[in-house]
Amino acid sequence: MTDENIAGPDAGHPRSEFGYNGHWGGHMRISTVREFRDKATGLLRSRDPILVTRRGRLAGVFFPQPEASLPIEFKRELFATLSAEVARQIKRRRLSEDDVLADFASWRKERRATRRRR
């Protein structure tokens, strides 16, 4: 992709090779799962955190190893956003805390069994 195809304040910026993703801020990138997969090497070299979306919904967040600690305001906002999404998913699936803990215990047991077979 060339910079001629990109409009916006970051045209010509090294990160602009990934195209416009609806977010021109210098503090966080937004990427689809497909873009993250296809351009992982370049995206992982970025110094900015990357919010990964699937069909417009949060799928994950990648934080590069920071040279310095992340700002506390960002950590608080991220925690609140992720906590709200987890709570929404639990409510939507009508799960209780015991259901979640049992599922986690089952996953850990299965994972340990798989590791022993190796």
- Per-residue pLDDT reduced to its tens digit, 10-58: 444 444 445 545 545 456 788 899 999 998 888 888 778 888 999 888 8
* Residue span of the structural domain in which 52 resides: 1-65
Q: Which of 25, 43, 65 is the last residue of a domain?
A: 65
Q: Which pTM was predicted?
A: 0.41
CATH number of the domain bearing residue 40: 3.40.1620
**59 and 92 co-located in one domain:** no
Same domain, 54 and 104: no
Q: What is the reported pLDDT for 5?
A: 39
Same structural domain for residues 45 and 87?
no
Is 61 in the same domain as 78? Answer: no
Three-point CA angle 24, 51, 75, nearest 5°: 100
Domain end call among 36, 65, 94? 65
Query: How many structural domains does the chain have?
Result: 2
Residues 50 and 76 in one domain: no
- Regarding whether 74 and 105 lie in a shared domain, the answer is yes
